Amino acid sequence: MAKPKIVFVCQECGHDSPKWLGRCPNCGGWNTMVEEMPVVAKNERGFSLSVNKPCPVVDIATASLPRRNTGVKEFDRVLGGGVVPGSLVLVGGDPGIGKSTLMLQVATGISRLYGNGLYVSGEESAAQVRMRAERLGELARSLYIMTETNIDAILAEAGQSKPAFLVIDSIQTMFCPDIPSAPGSVGQVRESTAKLLRYAKETNVPVAIIGHVTKEGNIAGPRLLEHMVDVVLYFEGERNYSFRVLRAIKNRFGSTTESGIFAMEEQGLMEIKNPSQLLLSERPDQTPGSVVLAYLEGVRPLLIEMQALVSTTCFGMPRRTTVGFDYNRLAMLMAVLEKRVGLSLANQDAYVNAVGGIRVTEPAADLAVALAVASSFRNQALNSRTVVVGEVGLTGEVRMVSRMDARIAEAATLGFVRAVIPKGNLTALKVRPQEMELIGVGTVAEAMAAML
């Protein structure tokens, strides 16, 4: 009898090798090669084996598929208006961030509107899922709970019950009996996702799968998983804060620029209709080092308070500490302030914080952070009803940013009377609120003269 062939598969990227390697030659990960049995292709049972004949593109019928509202408006907003029938949605996020809570609310909303929903849990028992539903107030007779990890048994039950929506929690716990490897391995995750994708396309039932993330923030398993699904959503947020942000990384049926904002409460995830007002609700008045930034979360404008604290260091090397802002960006801005503006910051510790647990990654936050650092260094408070936005270059110039009209409109809605923006954006504005004073600046020095 021939000895079975053994391959070693990288658990990060899916690269296979006939022998064990300490480092994956494809992705560079260390100690990621795991021994697995090769998968022999077999005919799938329960699926159509008919071959579709090619036809001219002009003869293909374009039947529109109406989207299904989930009852969670922020979730529908990110998807582009609702769930598309026959789509496969992947939801990823850190452990304990609220992925299961979000999908339980979505499954309940769809089951109440369109028929029975099926929530499959491979991590919790049925009683534990019910306890979560009771806490959220999401008990619905039309939502069915199933505890199973065998993907074939799940698809057999789904084929009989014909749910309006199927949720898999989580894909790393599912396994195919045909594959001789442990659940969560590359082969198991890939084959389970392929079967769910085939089921969604053949039955026109939308399927959502929950995926864990690695310490680097990527979905656990091979990158092929993200290519197989139709939509990839990331659920982000800080555990110590109630804010949660849902972003679309990939969306075949809509835009990837939308974002949904939630707050984790005792009753579950609550949608925030006016996040800017909530983020600025506890902002101190006339305090040095505090500046309001007109931030863009996708295409959604938010007003965020950026705080800075500058003090003389007692060590040989000054500290640069950031929370919610890029550390290297802060070091660059302080170098610009010292070289182009003349502030002596070489012996100063600097701490920058984005209030509310929001991660600010947009370059448009440069000018607000620079003014907050200068305000704390000089111990001079800025006008509390002023909003600041602009990208800063190494020569000290203030560059244009995108969607300035939406940022200004959001600031005017919340009662701000002044805005410091790049000169290029000032001349390109389509609508100028009469109640706001718009100041265009070309350099950081001009912005400091206008604010301080």
- Inter-CA distances, 178 with 40, 242, 320, 408, Å: 9, 43, 54, 58
* Share above pLDDT 70 across residues of the chain, in percent, rounded to a whole number: 92
Question: Does 415 count as an annotated binding residue?
Answer: no
Global pTM?
0.77
Q: Is 346 exposed, middle or buried (0-12, 13-18, 19+ CB in 10 A)?
A: exposed
Mean pLDDT of 107-126: 93
Question: Does 281 count as an annotated binding residue?
Answer: no
Question: Does 14 count as an annotated binding residue?
Answer: no
Mean pLDDT of 370-374: 96
Question: Does 97 count as an annotated binding residue?
Answer: yes
pLDDT by residue (tens digit) across 159-202? 999 999 999 998 989 999 888 778 888 888 889 999 999 999 99
* Share above pLDDT 90 across residues of the chain, in percent, rounded to a whole number: 54
Question: Does 96 count as an annotated binding residue?
Answer: yes
Q: Which residue matches tokens 């065998």? A: 150
For residue 41, the model assigns a pLDDT of: 47
**According to DSSP H, which parts of 214-352 are helical?**
224-228, 275-279, 327-336
Q: Identify the CA nearest to 416 among candidates 288, 311, 287, 280.
A: 280
**Do 365 and 306 form a contact (C-beta atoms < 8 A)?**
yes
Question: Does 316 count as an annotated binding residue?
Answer: no
Question: Does 219 count as an annotated binding residue?
Answer: no
Mean pLDDT of the chain: 87
Q: Which amino acid is at 264?
A: M
pLDDT by residue (tens digit) across 121-170? 999 999 999 999 998 887 889 999 999 999 999 999 999 999 999 999 98
Question: Does 94 count as an annotated binding residue?
Answer: yes
